[in-house]
């Protein structure tokens, strides 16, 4: 067999090996994506529960501040009431005292309800955090396995590419250029003649071309599918 053919076949074998390794590496991505999706859902649940309780606690702070303002206002109202002598002014002041008292009572009732809700929310946060921790622990071995597989495959890929580079240096540059262009569009670029036809698409090759190929090992381009042909 002509040296060019042997070199290209060896190169194609390396390219197929590289392609297989790359596919195996790519196949790891969906597995990792699924793990990430499960973890992200758990992490999102934690974030939602924490955000909910933070909002509730901020409302508690706001209402507590409002209660303090109302209480101070009530103190002023009561002090003012003690100094009022006229019945009409006293009636208005009593109305203001009652209004403020009602506002304080409503706010304190709301604070008590919010306190109960906050306790429930804290429990929700703890459950969400525990679920996230459990998900991470459950995934640890799977992630280690994927990382190990990826490391092994990447080492194999580096080795295969290094071997491929060494073999490519021995191929005629013009022929290598043709091979690489064809290889970029299909899995295999090099096929043997199968009888009088292309080994890939069965297009008949003229007798004269076949004779030349057989005589000196010329590599031809198939006019039907564009692959490189060599005498089988």
Question: Any idea which fold 14-170 has?
Answer: Helix Hairpins (1.10.287)
For the record, the structure tokens of 97 come out as 């005292």
φ, ψ dihedrals at 193, nearest 5°:
-65, 140
Residue 220: strand pairing partners: 229
* 119 to 43, 56, 211: CA distances (angstroms): 21, 11, 90
Note the pTM of the prediction, 2 decimals. Answer: 0.69
Q: Consecutive sets of 10 residues in the chain, 232 residues long: mean pLDDT of each?
A: 83 96 97 96 96 91 85 75 69 77 86 90 95 95 96 97 94 92 93 94 92 86 94 83
Helix, strand, coil share (%) of the chain residues, nearest 5: 80, 5, 15
């Amino acid at each position: 067999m002509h040296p060019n053919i042997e070199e290209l076949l060896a190169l194609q074998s390396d390219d197929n090996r590289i392609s297989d390794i790359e596919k195996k590496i790519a196949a790891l991505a969906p597995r990792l994506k699924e793990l990430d999706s499960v973890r992200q859902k758990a992490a999102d649940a934690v974030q939602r529960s924490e955000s909910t309780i933070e909002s509730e606690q901020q409302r508690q702070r706001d209402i507590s501040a409002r209660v303090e303002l109302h209480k101070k206002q009530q103190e002023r109202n009561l002090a003012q009431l003690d100094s009022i002598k006229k019945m009409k002014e006293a009636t208005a002041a009593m109305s203001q005292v009652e209004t403020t008292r009602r506002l304080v009572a409503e706010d304190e009732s709301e604070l008590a309800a919010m306190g109960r809700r906050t306790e429930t929310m804290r429990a929700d946060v703890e459950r969400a955090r525990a679920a996230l921790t459990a998900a991470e622990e459950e995934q640890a071995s799977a992630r280690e396995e994927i990382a190990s597989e990826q490391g092994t495959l990447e080492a194999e890929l580096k080795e295969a590419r290094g071997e491929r580079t060494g073999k490519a240096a021995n191929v005629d540059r013009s022929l290598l250029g043709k091979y690489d262009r064809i290889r970029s569009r299909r899995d295999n670029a090099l096929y043997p003649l199968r009888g009088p036809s292309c080994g890939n698409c069965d297009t008949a090759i003229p007798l004269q071309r076949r004779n030349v190929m057989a005589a000196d090992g010329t590599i031809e381009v198939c006019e039907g599918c564009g692959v490189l042909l060599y005498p089988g």
